[in-house]
Amino acid sequence: MAATPLDSDETYARLDPHGLLSRIEGSRLTGARGAARLPHHVSVVTPGVKADAVLMELDFRGVSASSGSACATLTGQPSHVLRAIGCDEAEAEASLCFTLGRWTTGQEIDVAVEILPAVVSRLRRLAPS
Taking CB atoms within 8 Å and a gap of at least 24, the contacts of 63-68 are 63/108, 63/111, 63/112, 63/115, 63/116, 65/96, 65/97, 65/98, 65/112, 66/96, 66/97, 66/99, 67/95, 67/96, 67/97, 68/92, 68/95, 68/97
Alpha helices in the chain, H assignment, sequence order: 8-15, 17-22, 51-60, 80-84, 89-93, 106-126
**Active-site residue identified among 38, 56, 71, 90:** 71
Residue 71 annotated as catalytic = yes
CB atoms under 10 Å from CB of 90, counted, come to 13
Question: Which residues belong to the active site?
Answer: 71
